[in-house]
Structure 1
């Protein structure tokens, strides 16, 4: 009888490699569009009056809702409900969530003080810190070509920092504002991103968490940490005085929801495709940002951006093309 029942309910066949490749390609295209457009739509649709913490908190809540919907749709929600433990979630997602929450706040500040292409290119320095953290935490080594690619990326970041910090405007105060409210926050966010990415990679290898589950856990923990920080932060005082959605319009939801879906797409691309496809996404996103900035703002890239763009593209391409390979010992 049990055999007959099992035969009556055949398991859903696993997707073929071609179907999986097509799915990963779709995820990659969507992530490239989201990643490239995010600085532009955030700058355009999030008013300066909007409290940074309110947009980050709302984004994290949106991630949880979207991830739960996707888990219910693919049938994994029941299994997670039965097997989930608080200790396991805190071990796998607690520290990365807190780090990502701080990173998101820094990125929100940088969005408002840098042009879209400069922000996207400086944000690529997170690859350097990801490589360093994965080596320190996971022992993942880099090839000689990858080390050279990382140096190219460092040169591009320094060039951008020097150009944006000293060449914009004639007043020193404006240069200091760009440096301390645009360049430094995004570079610190890159360091945090590298650390959090390495911790997530460690958690996925040890705990075998799905990308959706990691998204839910990290968003909840990050939201709680951020909400706790509002007790003494300037943003917390602003929220108590003006309300959580002070300065919001209907258009503010566009970048918030876009950022939430982008967070889910990052997990899917990393889970199903790894770093090679993610490198394609990053390169494509830079081109998307440059194109959208020219089309919608009518502003061509600066000379510093034009000089740095080939360095960034070349470094990421080299890094993904020449991975580290363990040499076989000769007998």
Structure 2
């Protein structure tokens, strides 16, 4: 017996019976927490011979390109079986020609350019305000990301969700203040000695960093969810463009250092671990944007900051204080409040009522 007019519920992607939305968010929390610890350790391991950040980003993008390309070729080979290695390499060539060099790849140039602007402005803002003050004020990106989601993706946020986001912002700021308390106090003293124009430039730079962060993330989420190419194709396109921008940056800013010491100067085992975690983090973020959204990603990264700070108690002798405890409570409360919205009672679905009535009549007959 068939029932016309009934709308099928959308199929939710699952992994081991758990929605991929929550799997990707949980994985992002774990990855980000461990990455922060490894990154900090890699910088402290050899302070006199530290590696260049630009070269680390270069290798990270290369790893993301290789992983994404491997997944694209794997999917392509399933639909285009090959007989020998020659045909397999032809498949790879076709993928590169169609996906990387195609006109469609230019859509990803926009977030890649925004990421570049964001990274450039970070240096300016951190120089004018100090690293610790910039780290605290840049948490405004939580709200700018939400605003961009509302305007670009037409996301609807209730008053409860907006209040949760504000509480999340306050909580993360408190945690960051505790984590960099000494540096923050020094930064405030340093700001008092700076000219008003420097402070204005620094705050303006921070605002545009937050704005470009929200725009780039939400736009990338939009093209992942609303355009035909797969997640792996988009990730490959973004990493390829980012790699080109990174190479230009190395030539422009670090050419002398690389020429004198080489690309691998200061590299240790922990450096390669940090690079690997950064590369996998980029892929996990893309999966999170595909199956969740940027706002939930903000909650995940905020929770990871707390977890990494707790891990720092054993790794770096970090001692949490009142600000950290209060900030942690606010972040946890905001996360729960955002994801447990009290829904209003809704009218029963007419289709479902009709189905129930028809089934009842069938049973009676």
TM-score for both structures, normalised by structure 1? 0.72
Residue 254 (structure 1) aligned to one of 250, 254, 273: 273
- 2:59 corresponds to: 58
- 2:114 corresponds to: 99
- 1:37 corresponds to: 34
CA contact 1:211–1:271 (8 Å) conserved in 2:
yes
> SS of the counterpart of 1:230?
helix
What displacement does 1:211 show? Answer: 1.9
Shift in alpha-carbon separation, 1:65–1:35, aligned structure 2, 3 A: same
Greater Cα offset, 124-133 or 167-176: 167-176
Greater Cα offset, 93-102 or 50-59: 93-102
Structure 1 residues 280-316: Cα deviation after superposition (integer angstroms, max 9, x where no partner): 7446524431331122223222432222222223233
Tell me the distance in 1 between the aligned counterparts of 2:141 and 2:32. Answer: 14
Structure 1 residues 253-274: Cα deviation after superposition (integer angstroms, max 9, x where no partner): 0000011011111212332344
CA contact 2:140–2:210 (8 Å) conserved in 1:
yes
| Residue 88 (structure 1) aligned with residue 88 (structure 2) | no
What displacement does 1:242 show? Answer: 2.5
Tell me the distance in 2 between the aligned counterparts of 1:158 and 1:22. Answer: 31
What displacement does 1:152 show? Answer: 1.9
| Residue 270 (structure 1) aligned with residue 280 (structure 2) | no
Greater Cα offset, 202-211 or 31-40: 202-211
- 1:131 corresponds to: 146
CA contact 2:25–2:300 (8 Å) conserved in 1:
yes
Matches within 5 A, 1:172-187: 172=189
CA contact 2:73–2:95 (8 Å) conserved in 1:
no
Listed as ranges, the gaps of 5+ residues in structure 2 are 1-10, 79-90, 348-365
| Residue 309 (structure 1) aligned with residue 309 (structure 2) | no
Shift in alpha-carbon separation, 1:140–1:276, aligned structure 2, 3 A: closer
- 2:337 corresponds to: 318
- 2:88 corresponds to: none
What displacement does 1:65 show? Answer: 1.1
> SS of the counterpart of 2:18?
helix
CA contact 1:279–1:317 (8 Å) conserved in 2:
no
Tell me the distance in 2 between the aligned counterparts of 1:67 and 1:303. Answer: 44
CA contact 1:279–1:320 (8 Å) conserved in 2:
no
Greater Cα offset, 260-269 or 79-88: 79-88
Matches within 5 A, 1:208-223: 208-223=228-243
CA root-mean-square deviation:
4.3
| Residue 225 (structure 1) aligned with residue 245 (structure 2) | yes
Shift in alpha-carbon separation, 1:165–1:198, aligned structure 2, 3 A: farther
Matches within 5 A, 1:154-193: 154-156=169-171, 159=174, 164=181, 168=185, 172=189, 190-193=210-213
CA contact 2:224–2:290 (8 Å) conserved in 1:
no
Larger-Rg structure: 2
Tell me the distance in 2 between the aligned counterparts of 1:290 and 1:230. Answer: 32
TM-score for both structures, normalised by structure 2? 0.67
CA contact 1:276–1:320 (8 Å) conserved in 2:
no
- 1:196 corresponds to: 216
Structure 1 residues 27-51: Cα deviation after superposition (integer angstroms, max 9, x where no partner): 4443221111111110101355211
Structure 1 residues 92-143: Cα deviation after superposition (integer angstroms, max 9, x where no partner): x112123335556859x98xx66xxx97x87765331211112233333321
Listed as ranges, the gaps of 5+ residues in structure 1 are 1-13
Tell me the distance in 1 between the aligned counterparts of 2:230 and 2:322. Answer: 43
Shift in alpha-carbon separation, 1:18–1:153, aligned structure 2, 3 A: closer
Shift in alpha-carbon separation, 1:305–1:232, aligned structure 2, 3 A: same
CA contact 1:156–1:312 (8 Å) conserved in 2:
yes
